[in-house]
Amino acid sequence: MIPIGRATRRTLLRAAAAGAAATAAGCAGGTRSVQVAVVWSATELDRFREVVAGYPAPVHVVSAGNDIDAFLRARHLAGTSPDVAILPRPGLVTEYALRGWLSPVRASTEYAVPAGLSDLLMTRGRRYGVWVKAAHKSLIWHLPSMVPQPPGSWDELVSLTRRLGALARRGSGPAPLAIGAADGWVLTDWFENVLADLAPDAYDALAGPDADWQGRPVRDTLDRLAELWSIDGAFPGGGRRALLTQYEESVIQVVRSRRAVMVFEADFTAEVARRFLPGPEEASTFRFPSARPDAAGPLIVGGDVAVALAGARGGVELVEWLTTAGSFQPWLRAGGYLSPNTTIALDSYADRLRHGLAAEMRAPGTLRFDLSDQLPGPFTGSDGVGIWRIMQAFFADVTDGVSAAEAVRRATGQLAAEARSAGGGR
Amino acid sequence: MSRVPVLGELAVLDDVGPPRRGRAYPAAGATSALLLPAIVLLGGLVLWPVLRTVHASVTTDGHWVGAEHFRTALAAPDTGAVVGRTVLWAVLVPAVVTALGYLLAAVSRRSQEGGLVRLILLVPVALPLVVTGVTFRLMYDPDPGRGLFTLVAARLTGRSAEDAPQMLGPGLVTVALMSAFVWAWVGLAVLVFRAALDAVPPSLGDAVRAYGGGRRHVLWDAQWRPLLLRTVAVVFALVAVGTSRTFDLILVMTPGSVRDEAAVLALRVWQTSGGTTTGEGAALGVVWLAAVVGGILVAALFVRQAWPPPRAEAPPGPERAAPPWRVFRLLAAGAAVAWLVPLVVLVATSLHGQVDAAARGWWSTRPGAGSYRDLVTGTELWRTLGFTLLLATVVTATVLLVALLAAYPLAWLTGPAAQATGLLLLAASVVPVQVIAGPVNEVLGLVLSSGTARGLALVHVALGVPFAVLVLRNAFADLPAEQVRGARLGGRRWWDTLRRLARHNLPAVVAVSVLEFVQVWNDLVVGLLFSGPEATPLGLFVAGQTRSFVSNSGALAASSVLASVLPVLLVVLARRQLVAGLVSGGVR
């Protein structure tokens, strides 16, 4: 179909939809509410509704389910796009902006995010989105009674895993690590932390168009992961079993059934753990250890972006309002929310964990945005697809006795091939 | 076949022609218009999308690229494995289901407990495939502390929990999926075989025996040759086409790390194209579509006219009520117990709260109603159930109306025209929706209902109409001449006639309604591809929770049980009409 025909049709559809909406609004006799499609559900959805209740105009929040991309495509076809959408990946922002689906947005004066986050939402020199929620993805959760002295460096983590692993093999203790390897994103988060620690510059390059997936930094990173993951007895039930363990089950293995003593994942693990608390002991956290004993360790951040869709009414204003320091106060008070906005007073965090993490995000250091969320096309990963599948194959190899060199060779070959076919990398 | 008492009546009503069709011509103009709704729906939401997909498979951004997409798609490293697995599904699973179906139908015949056995086997048929997936994933949980199967396997093989065979692991995951599928489908095969066995006149067996034949000869000459050969073909084709629906099972049962090892074409097409149908995804889709449609047409040509409608079956002769051998009865009982185990696992898990169900086996803790309480007191389940009920009811009513209108004029076609429409409808009823998802969304976009409940209902209606028309058309055409005559004389207008005829066709109407209702109620894939944000259909609601399967297993099991009550009731109550409808309408 030629572009002109498409534009004409879309204009027609939008005109028709606007007409219908106007009629509906006219019948209701009030102002039309701003429609926001979000990726959240359950508690998070309720919290966000509390947030937008503070907006001066009425706001209607709909949950788009797991695949907001498909949702927005369908609504775009129907000419009934929402006014604002919350997207889980910055890659989508660029994609939509290039297709002309988005309006440029403004941020309020009270909005500042850590360096390296803001640029991700710029396309052709204009800002198309703002960060509204962050996830701290460099945490290792553990039971303090089992790990009294958190490892201070990567090597200490490896030796601790060796020691506990040997005990676990003899049947006289829980395994050192739980890992939800059935969910590919858990493995890519591991990969990103080690890579950001080893080679922060290469990390940035991998997100770009000239990524070198067979270069030294990637190989070194995989080598390190192999060093830890191949330890005998590292995971409860072994590697085969870990590949069938989903993320939430891995948390249960630590906080509830105590078959492992540590689990690596983001700050939202706190909410999962709370649902399965055994009572006496709460899991606490330490930062993902750096290879250098004195360094602070990597900080990988994930996040959700608010965008205004083209032709929306009141969308740009709502997005701007979401960047004010006061807008997310209800969620901050209720806990379970980490803001990307560094102008928000640390004291407004009611939840102790998030308070500490927000401080970490403001400290100088190697803060990087989640790499797999920036990768192009299907390479970004989903179940059985892209980098998720490759990391799972790598995990299967190293836990199954394949030599590290061979496993790394296979994985980098696949990464490079996948990156090429997705239109990035070489 | 109806026996017409007065030969003259046929001549009054109609001309010469094949006895099954062409008894009365309705007025041409008005009744052709009755086809319009079905034509618009099928043209817009099935035919046009299929053409668009074919077009997309040979173009990039509108430019002709020939077979390039096919080459790329087929040259991708694991396409060979995926195609091979799809073929394995389409051959091995129907063979097992057919064999088991015949065996169990034969051994559960004429014994007192046979009815109960068949009832137990029938329950899985009615379950949503999503629920079957949840059930088997619970049973195959790799943790021997939770998964019954893993526990038993570890004990039997004498291995530690770590080395015990893992059904969900990369090596066995396809076997695990197939076992779930067989469990779900054998009941249907039993039902069809039973109808066929009952239709075999007992005198035939007596005749064979009179000529000195043994048991083997009776089986061969009095059962296999006259009837069972064709029944086997029907069942085999039915199940083979059904295997294209393994998609739901794979999505629910496989953890992300083994999804590749379980992938079939249905999944691969969805993974490569998602909601848009372009390039390689379209090429794979076309290959798959061609295979499914080709397969069903070959099967239909094989089966056509072969099936005596079971409604005409003779009541089983009381003199032939010899009970089967003892070993057979034991076999039937064993099968019933085996088929019950997964149901027990599902119900038992649902009787545990979130924490207990996730952390320990259902056999090791006291049951409670915690998961049900959480579900019932929440609003989400009720909204989902209400929406699904409304959706299924509206879709069923619409399908019935559109199909009745279309079946009426189509029933009077004769000869090649009747055959051609039959084959077309059959082909349309097996088009896999994943293949045409992108173009269907475009069409829905044109009528401003993409991503809305209205759009979802429209897609369901379009997918349901072809089969419904097929069943009703055949039922109309099979009506005895005197009934047709009565209806035509008694009805003053065409709609009076139609109404009277529909009343004579009650079994077919019931079959179509129940099938369509259960189909929509149990659906996952249409909801996944087309539902909007207003409400989630049941299949999607259950499948969504499997993203963290273990931590949600209590709630998953409980919502699965609640989701299954209605379809199980409907299918069990309408089982006779269902078989009649299925076999007279061809295969789905």
Q: DSSP readout, B359-418?
A: HS-TTSS---SHHHHHHHHSSHHHHHHHHHHHHHHHHHHHHHHHHHHHHHHHTT--HHHH
Please check whether residues A166 and A247 belong to one and the same domain: yes
**For residue A139, what is the enclosing H or E element?**
strand A139-142
Q: Do A248 and B551 touch (CB under 8 A)?
A: yes
d(CA B230, CA A142): 64
A304 phi and psi angles, rounded to 5 deg: -115, 145
Please check whether residues A89 and A172 belong to one and the same domain: no
Average pLDDT of span B461-470: 92
Please check whether residues A120 and A152 belong to one and the same domain: no
Q: What is the full DSSP assignment across B539-581?
A: HHHHHHHGGGTTTTHHHHHHHHHHHHHHHHHHHHHTHHHHHHH
Q: What is the full DSSP assignment across B118-169?
A: HHHHHHHHHS-HHHHHHHHHHHT-SSTTT-HHHHHHHHHHT--TTTS--TTS
**For residue A260, what is the enclosing H or E element?**
strand A260-264
From the list A1, A17, A64, the residue facing B448 with the nearest CB is: A17
> For residue B505, is pLDDT > 90?
no
From the list A73, A251, A385, the residue facing B271 with the nearest CB is: A385
Rg of chain A in Å (alpha carbons): 23
Please check whether residues A151 and A252 belong to one and the same domain: yes
What is the amino acid identity at position B494? W
Would you state the pLDDT for residue A308? Answer: 95
B206-215, B217-226, B305-314, B430-439: least confident range: B305-314
Structure tokens at A396: 């299967």
From the list B257, B450, B532, the residue facing A182 with the nearest CB is: B257
Would you state the pLDDT for residue A24? Answer: 38
Please check whether residues A320 and A272 belong to one and the same domain: no
Please check whether residues A100 and A223 belong to one and the same domain: no
Would you state the pLDDT for residue B224? Answer: 73
Task: Judge whether A67 lies within some domain.
Answer: yes
**How many angstroms separate the CA of residue A160 from the nearest CA in chain B?**
22
Residue range B198-214, pLDDT digits in tens: 877 777 778 888 888 77
B116-125, B160-169, B186-195: least confident range: B160-169
Please check whether residues A161 and A42 belong to one and the same domain: no
Number of A–B residue contacts, CB under 8 Å: 148
> For residue B274, is pLDDT > 80?
no
Structure tokens at B197: 């066995």
Nearest partner of B290 among B463, B421, B431, B93, judged by Cα: B431
Residue range A313-330, pLDDT digits in tens: 889 999 999 999 899 999
Q: Do B448 and A396 touch (CB under 8 A)?
A: no
Interface test mutation site (partner B, options A77, A248, A277, A385, max chain B beta carbons within 10 A) = A77
**Whether A65 contacts chain B with CB within 8 A:** yes
At residue A399 the predicted structure's pLDDT band, cuts being 50, 70 and 90, is very high
What is the amino acid identity at position A391? M
* Beta-carbon contacts of residue B318 (< 8 Å; ≥ 6 apart): none
DSSP B236: H
Mean pLDDT across chain A: 86
d(CA A93, CA A245): 32
d(CA B295, CA B311): 27
Instruction: Measure CA A353 to chain center.
Output: 18
Average pLDDT of span A371-389: 88
From the list A66, A240, A246, the residue facing B166 with the nearest CB is: A240
In chain B, pLDDT over 90 holds for what percent of residues?
A: 34
From the list A16, A240, A248, the residue facing B448 with the nearest CB is: A16
End of a domain among A349, A368, A387?
A368
Average pLDDT of span A376-398: 91
In chain A, pLDDT over 90 holds for what percent of residues?
A: 55
Average pLDDT of span A100-113: 92
Domain count of the fold of chain A:
2
d(CA A89, CA A302): 8
Query: How many CA atoms lie within 13 Å of A358's alpha carbon, on the beta-carbon side?
Result: 24
From the list A37, A70, A244, the residue facing B142 with the nearest CB is: A244
Would you state the pLDDT for residue A4? Answer: 37
Tell the residue number behind the tokens 């330490």, with chain if given: A286
ipTM rounded to 2 decimals: 0.85
**How many angstroms separate the CA of residue A291 from the nearest CA in chain B?**
29
Pick the residue from chain A with its C-alpha nearest to B446.
A78
Task: For chain B, count helices (H), then strands (E).
Answer: 31, 2
Pairing of strands A299-309, A260-264: unpaired
pTM score of the predicted model: 0.88
Average pLDDT of span A268-286: 83
Would you state the pLDDT for residue B270? Answer: 83
Q: Do B448 and A79 touch (CB under 8 A)?
A: yes
Average pLDDT of span A26-47: 74
In chain B, pLDDT over 70 holds for what percent of residues?
A: 88
**Whether B226 contacts chain A with CB within 8 A:** no
Contacts of A249 in chain B (CB under 8 A): 358, 548-551
Would you state the pLDDT for residue B182? Answer: 96
Q: Do A383 and B450 touch (CB under 8 A)?
A: no
At residue A289 the predicted structure's pLDDT band, cuts being 50, 70 and 90, is very high
At residue A30 the predicted structure's pLDDT band, cuts being 50, 70 and 90, is very low
* Beta-carbon contacts of residue B148 (< 8 Å; ≥ 6 apart): B139, B341, B345, B361, B363
Task: Judge whether A426 lies within some domain.
Answer: no
Would you state the pLDDT for residue A320? Answer: 94
**How many angstroms separate the CA of residue B536 from the nearest CA in chain A?**
9
Pick the residue from chain A with its C-alpha nearest to B456.
A74
3-state secondary structure at position A354 = helix
Would you state the pLDDT for residue B323? Answer: 59
Class of domain B26-584: mainly alpha
Tally of CB atoms within 10 A around A54: 14
At residue B380 the predicted structure's pLDDT band, cuts being 50, 70 and 90, is confident
Pick the residue from chain B with its C-alpha nearest to A422.
B272
At residue A77 the predicted structure's pLDDT band, cuts being 50, 70 and 90, is confident
Q: Tell which wins on pLDDT, A179 or A25.
A: A179
Pick the residue from chain A with its C-alpha nearest to B534.
A62
d(CA B440, CA B345): 39
Please check whether residues A125 and A145 belong to one and the same domain: no
d(CA A122, CA A312): 20
Interface test mutation site (partner A, options B257, B442, B551, max chain A beta carbons within 10 A) = B257
**Whether B452 contacts chain A with CB within 8 A:** yes
Instruction: Measure CA B485 to chain center.
Output: 35
Would you state the pLDDT for residue B315? Answer: 42
d(CA A287, CA A193): 10
* CATH number for position A15: 3.40.190.10
At residue B221 the predicted structure's pLDDT band, cuts being 50, 70 and 90, is confident
B550 within 8 A of A251, measured Cβ to Cβ: no
Structure tokens at B380: 């989400």
Nearest partner of A371 among A218, A157, A177, judged by Cα: A218
d(CA B122, CA B159): 35
At residue B46 the predicted structure's pLDDT band, cuts being 50, 70 and 90, is very high
> For residue B313, is pLDDT > 80?
no
Please check whether residues A176 and A110 belong to one and the same domain: no
Structure tokens at A270: 């706190």
Pick the residue from chain B with its C-alpha nearest to A393.
B257
At residue B581 the predicted structure's pLDDT band, cuts being 50, 70 and 90, is low
End of a domain among A324, A349, A368?
A368
Please check whether residues A93 and A157 belong to one and the same domain: no
Average pLDDT of span B48-57: 92
Pairing of strands A139-142, A102-103: unpaired
d(CA B199, CA B382): 44
Q: Do B550 and A246 touch (CB under 8 A)?
A: yes
**Whether A84 contacts chain B with CB within 8 A:** no
What is the amino acid identity at position A302? G
Q: Do A244 and B166 touch (CB under 8 A)?
A: yes
Structure tokens at A86: 């919350």
> For residue B243, is pLDDT > 60?
yes
A301 within 8 A of A361, measured Cβ to Cβ: yes
**How many angstroms separate the CA of residue B158 from the nearest CA in chain A?**
16
Would you state the pLDDT for residue B322? Answer: 57
Q: Do B169 and A392 touch (CB under 8 A)?
A: no
d(CA B123, CA A377): 43
At residue B115 the predicted structure's pLDDT band, cuts being 50, 70 and 90, is confident
Pairing of strands A34-38, A84-87: parallel
Q: Tell which wins on pLDDT, B495 or A344.
A: A344
Would you state the pLDDT for residue A231? Answer: 95
d(CA B81, CA B83): 6
Would you state the pLDDT for residue A71? Answer: 80
* Whole-number Cα distances in Å, B553 to A247, B123, B134: 14, 21, 9
A20-29, A36-45, B237-246: least confident range: A20-29
d(CA A396, CA B77): 19
Would you state the pLDDT for residue B442? Answer: 84
At residue B276 the predicted structure's pLDDT band, cuts being 50, 70 and 90, is low
**Whether B166 contacts chain A with CB within 8 A:** yes
Task: Judge whether A95 lies within some domain.
Answer: yes
Residue numbers of B between 256 and 315 with CB closer than 8 Å to A: 256-260, 263, 267, 271-272, 274-276
Would you state the pLDDT for residue B21? Answer: 44
At residue A15 the predicted structure's pLDDT band, cuts being 50, 70 and 90, is very low
**Whether B255 contacts chain A with CB within 8 A:** yes
Tell me the range of A85-89, B354-358, B435-439 where mean pLDDT is highest.
A85-89
The C-alpha angle B227, B230, B232, rounded to 5 degrees, equals 105
* Whole-number Cα distances in Å, B184 to A23, B137, B159, B246, B578: 49, 14, 30, 11, 16
Residue numbers of A between 354 and 393 with CB closer than 8 Å to B: 378, 382-385, 388-389, 392
Please check whether residues A146 and A242 belong to one and the same domain: yes
> For residue A29, is pLDDT > 60?
no
Contacts of A16 in chain B (CB under 8 A): 448
Average pLDDT of span A230-240: 93
Contacts of A276 in chain B (CB under 8 A): 355, 358-359, 551
Task: Judge whether A70 lies within some domain.
Answer: yes
> For residue B339, is pLDDT > 60?
yes
Structure tokens at B57: 């498979």
**Whether A77 contacts chain B with CB within 8 A:** yes
Tell me the range of A59-63, B102-106, B133-137, B404-408 where mean pLDDT is highest.
B133-137
Instruction: Measure CA B568 to chain center.
Output: 14
Would you state the pLDDT for residue B133? Answer: 96
From the list A62, A65, A388, the residue facing B256 with the nearest CB is: A388
Please check whether residues A187 and A173 belong to one and the same domain: yes
Domain boundaries, chain B: 26-584
Domain span at residue A16? 3-22+30-134+301-368
Residue numbers of A between 15 and 34 with CB closer than 8 Å to B: 16-17, 20
At residue A312 the predicted structure's pLDDT band, cuts being 50, 70 and 90, is confident
